Amino acid sequence: MRAIRRFTVHPVLPEPLRPLADLAGNLCWYWNEPTKELFRAMDPLLWEATGHDPRKLLSRIDAKRLAALAQDARFTRKVEHAREDLEDYLTVDRWYQGFAAAHPGAPERIAYFSAEFGVTEVLPQYSGGLGILAGDHLKAASDSGIPIIGVGLLYRHGYFRQSLDAQGWQQERYPLLAPLDLPLTLLRDDAGEPVTVEVPLREETYQVQIWVARVGRVPLLMLDSVVEGNSEAARAVTDRLYGGGVDHRLAQEVLLGIGGVRALRAYCRITGEPTPTVYHANEGHAGFLGLERIREYMNEGIDVDTAVERTRAGSLFTTHTPVPAGIDRFPRDLVADQFRTFAPLPLDRIMAFGTEDYVGGDRGVFNMAVLGFRLGQRANGVSRLHGEVSRQMFQGLWPSFDVSEVPIGSVTNGVHHKTWIHPDLLELMASPTSDSDTVVDGYDWSALDRVDDTTIWALKQRMRGDLVRMARQRLAASHTARGLSGNAEWIEHALDPNVLTLGFARRAASYKRLTLMLRDPERLKRLLNDPERPIQIVIAGKAHPADDGGKGLIQEMVRFADAEDVRERLVFLPDYDMSLARPLYPGCDVWINNPLRPQEACGTSGMKAAMNGAANLSVRDGWWDEWYDPRFGWEIPSAENVTSPDQRDAQEAAALYEIIENEIVPRFYTRDSNGVPTAWITMIRDIMSGLTPKILASRMVREYTERMYLPTALASARMAEGDHAAGTAAWKKRIRAAWPQVSVSRVTGLVSGSRALGSAMTLSAVVRLGDLTPADVEVQMVLGSVDDDDELHDIVIQPAVAGERLDDGVRYAATTVLDTSGSIGVTFRVVPKRDGLATIAEMGLATVSVD
């Protein structure tokens, strides 16, 4: 029979052990190895059985065991020390407190919205890289003392659990997640009643409750629509991560954006936390938060244009995809039905924010990335290359500007070292002082320079052995789940802790090319089965439930791995998640990444492997394009100029085999008299000292703080002063109305032929401003190299100075020194100018000379 209610009974902890409840209630235990070891020591078998979940451990541990531990003076001293350590972690000033003291106007609170958060496997609310990145963002912010509040959804079935059938086809299972079994607390008011907020769903309004996870110093608000009184449609909104069709996806994004802002307001009201002044949308899923903030301002009596300026000034948007297919685009009619009664914000303004009204756009869809860019004064990609690709991809929003001027920057992703580095390796890096340039966040990343080769190699062997044990356990479970016939004794010999180990784990999206390594199967088999210097490959990854193409790639790989002549050297491990990933990265010697360049936005899996001393073998895409160095691994040459996809794959696969066979294998298997690969150990040291400091999530969140959060907070504060926002809105309205009258003509000073390098050039042009004044604009002389179509590239801007007034305009002149040789082009341009604009391209307006 089915229970009508579910609850958890916890044993009463003896007084000396009561701090364990607080330690289990804050997720920073996940990256605090001494605290984790404390829970493990209570009952090692139960720790494994509960999936390393301290809350479950405390709920199931035997009362007699608790009584014995309470009498163990050594254990209780460790409990007290862990409690003090947590208190210090939560209260002592950290990096941000010093930053804020030195930067008046630094935000008191920052809201960080994301559709998924991968903080720990015991809170399975993530599908892949986006969620893991969001989780690492919160953890690194907590470590640095950055006052972030996370906002997401609580999916009652999370993301799917993956298994395989006998034919190697992916199977999905969605286990029910009970919030009371998760490391969450329900937000309650002063009377102890659950707090709810209202969210519109088409023609109904439903209630949402708010669960709070403690991620160190950072509260993570998770919205849940499974509330009594809600319709079945409303209760289903938070059923699965990325589940259902387009209607369901829209409902989830409305809940995240609209409901997320309302949940923030409730949380801040109840806790007394300051209201955030910076709103960070991590991908377009959260874009609707801007609409709710505009609506809030309008409910205070502010007109819509002023409300938009107030909202934009405090908003930033991070895009994570370099391909149009990765962007959420909804049918316009569906969005219009959702927001038809979103008073007082007019529907036509809502629809305009997400309309693809640029050349090549589809006016029949509502684009969530376009919404993010239009309602965020600042925006960024997640690697330097991704920033470049994003500027090209979205140039249509700023058609009168060079690609280099498109206002999309980049902050390269990072990964949380305390989560992803093997504890024994991290311990070698720990530094008691911070008086060295190589010490960052308490760890000396050059510490391996003072550790002998034998110690480093022994640790790497141990890490590889941990991976082999985990892989064999998962292979055995998968063999049983698939119902495969035949003897499974081979699993006891699958993989070898002494063999060169390569890893490949990521989503099975087509552009990531999971099966590129199978391009020449016989050559791969020779590498795997070489009698003297073999390699082995560990593979994992999930395909989206609706992606049959991705499932087909997994099946192709699994069928290859099932063959008797390779199955001990190449394995596919189902159900890729954080619990699989944590031993996978340290156990690998080389990490493979072979996407179709430039379709990988960042690709942080290679960072996690590098943090554990693994070399990268990768196409120069995402972060690897930015920080590739031969000391850190190998570049797979990208054949982007090859037009045939088949030929491109063949060429890049051949390069992959060539590098493994002729460069990686010899370096790994060349040993000294002690059996240690000294050249390989040198590479491990170089990776840890030269690369790891760059890929830290602490570096990432501090860059966000300095380059994005602080300027956003200052802009938001300025817009809140007096009538600055209203004045800006009125000025923009006037500029847009008068802009068609602006023209540039009669450019003089141009001389055909050649000019000497280093010579000065003075040009002038007549600018007609119509109803505008010279104070409203900046006139620029723009130079750059030119292509065969006379398009300017690598532009340089020289502001022009207003001179005599003419009957038909104002003459402007500019002088520049020609310091670049080659074919150079020049033009004049007029752009709006006002103190407070984030960039000259903010309004997307520019008038260029047609002479």
pLDDT tops 80 at residue 8: no
pLDDT tops 70 at residue 365: yes
Q: Which segments of 212-345 does DSSP mark as H helices, in order?
A: 232-235, 246-254, 260-271, 289-299, 304-313, 332-339
d(CA 98, CA 95): 6
d(CA 12, CA 63): 8
Question: Band of the pLDDT at 807, cuts 50, 70, 90?
Answer: confident
d(CA 465, CA 513): 28
H or E segment at 67? helix 63-70
Pairing type for strands 196-201 and 204-215 reads antiparallel
Amino acid of residue 735 = I
Q: What is the pLDDT of residue 4?
A: 63
Angle, CA of 450, 451 and 453, to the nearest 5°: 125
SS3 (DSSP) at 762: strand
| pLDDT per position as a tens digit, 261-278 | 999 999 999 999 999 999
Helix 724-738 to helix 710-720 angle (10° resolution) is 90
The Cβ of residue 762 has, within 10 Å, a number of other Cβ atoms equal to: 11
Tokens of 89: 């972690």
| pLDDT per position as a tens digit, 748-761 | 887 767 788 888 88
pLDDT tops 80 at residue 298: yes
Task: For residue 393, count CB atoms less than 10 angstroms from its CB and return exposed for 0-12, middle for 13-18, buried for 19 or more.
Answer: buried
SS3 (DSSP) at 28: helix
Question: Band of the pLDDT at 243, cuts 50, 70, 90?
Answer: confident
d(CA 847, CA 263): 44
pLDDT tops 70 at residue 3: no
| pLDDT per position as a tens digit, 103-153 | 999 999 999 999 999 999 999 999 989 999 999 999 999 999 999 999 999
Q: What is the pLDDT of residue 757?
A: 84
pLDDT tops 70 at residue 2: no
| pLDDT per position as a tens digit, 604-630 | 999 999 999 999 999 999 999 999 999
Phi (first) and psi of residue 55, to 5 degrees = -65, -45
Average pLDDT, the chain: 95
DSSP per residue, 257-291: IIIHHHHHHHHHHHH-PPPPSEEEEESGGGTTHHH
How far apart, in Å, are the Cα atoms of 238 and each of 134, 152, 365, 544? Answer: 19, 11, 24, 18
Question: Band of the pLDDT at 818, cuts 50, 70, 90?
Answer: confident
pLDDT tops 80 at residue 838: yes
Average of per-residue pLDDT across 644-653: 96
pLDDT tops 70 at residue 238: yes
SS3 (DSSP) at 332: helix
| pLDDT per position as a tens digit, 664-722 | 999 999 999 999 999 999 999 999 999 999 999 999 999 999 999 999 999 999 999 99
H or E segment at 827? strand 824-832
* pTM to 2 decimal places: 0.96
pLDDT tops 80 at residue 72: yes
pLDDT tops 70 at residue 9: no
State the virtual CA torsion across 180, 186, 190, 193 in degrees, nearest 10: -70
SS3 (DSSP) at 401: coil
In 354-431, DSSP assigns E strands to: 365-367, 378-381, 409-410
Burial string for 155-173 (b: 16+ CB within 10 Å, else e) reads bbbbbbbbbbeeebbbebe
Q: What is the pLDDT of residue 300?
A: 96
| pLDDT per position as a tens digit, 387-446 | 999 999 999 999 889 999 999 999 999 999 999 999 999 999 998 877 778 888 889 999
Closest CA to 410 of 327, 495, 319: 319
pLDDT tops 90 at residue 572: yes
Amino acid of residue 87 = E
H or E segment at 627? helix 622-627
